Amino acid sequence: MTSGNRIYLDNAATTPLSKEVLEAMMPYLTEKFGNPSSIYSYGRETRLPIENARKQVAKIIHAHPGEIFFTSCGTESSNTAIQESIVNLNCKHIITSPIEHHATLYTTEYLAKMGKVTLDFVKLLPNGHVDLEDLEKLLAESKERSLVSLMHANNEIGNLLDVDRVSALCQKYDAIFHCDTVQTMGHLKLDVSKTHFDFITCSAHKFHGPKGVGFLYINENIKIDPFIHGGSQERNMRAGTENIYGIVGLAKALEIADAALEEESTYIQDLKSYMAEELKKAIPSVNFNGDTLGNSLYTVLSISLPKTEKSEMMLFNLDIHNICVSGGSACTSGADQGSHVIRAINNDPNIVPLRFSFSKYNTKEEIDTVVKTLKTLL
């Protein structure tokens, strides 16, 4: 996506809000301002859109509306699922991976530090995928009920998890399965009636919806207490006046993404493949991280360049040339600590990682410009 003369290739961090979504939100930012908990007309006209949004989200992932709870973001959703699994579902053992989003890593590490759980990190295969044999070994050896928290697609390298196999293992060993689907919601089909999840988490701004809103799917067979206490919103599960315009925007964005998924995924996969081939031709020293060219999300392309004085300044120099990319997760891009994901799969101090992530608004002409600029800068 070009804004003015800027090229935006950091869609895994956030996506631009689509015009159709903004139009759907506008009435609830202006004249329809009532509190949904009110009984008079202003309240009733904002209550109905929330419940319609819940039905729309549930329909797309093949859930029941009663299993969808709106939250502020993926981080809140993941914190709720993880912490309430410990408090309410008797999970005393957590299995996760070293390349999860920090919303999962920091939450699980905090619980372990507080002595509430034992924490195990499943091994990774050389290509960055979760070692499912090691996962089964950890589940089989656990003397306590386990919570397995693994993301559907890694936000930095795009590696995809075999959720069907993980789900089957969790059912076999009576474990709770929480899946962070922040990167895949709106980009891959998800059917909770066919694959058993206990919790899944979502954030609207990853598929051209607004920031500050997400949802938590809680399987109807799971009973947990509220994570945020106060009012009776979200059927007593999440207190606080609802973000009406955000919820409406989330549902609209997911509806649009789902309707165009086949066409747009083919288009974006073509962009990713094209960029990979052009990079190979232009920069022979380029390497690709994890399984980014294999069983990987089509929106993410992760590369490494040999560390030099020029490549170390690449993010800043690309920014000067009005090209927006990241060196890893947006949540750590401002900190000089590198990527925990890249370190886990390739702890080579002599590489500089870059992540390109695409949307339906990007073009091959933009990719040509980026590759040419990279070559010139190097």
Q: Which residues are annotated as catalytic?
A: 331
- Residues 99 and 344 sit within 8 Å (Cβ to Cβ): yes
Helix, coil or strand: residue 322: coil
144: CB partners within 8 A, 6+ apart: 91, 92, 93, 118
What is the side-by-side strand order in the sheet with 287-288? 287-288, 300-306, 351-357
Phi–psi pair at 147, nearest 5 degrees: -110, 125
According to DSSP H, which parts of the chain are helical?
19-29, 41-61, 74-88, 102-113, 132-141, 163-172, 233-236, 244-259, 261-282, 309-312, 314-320, 340-345, 364-377
In 104-232, beta strands by DSSP E? 118-121, 145-151, 176-180, 199-203, 214-218
- Residues 228 and 220 sit within 8 Å (Cβ to Cβ): no
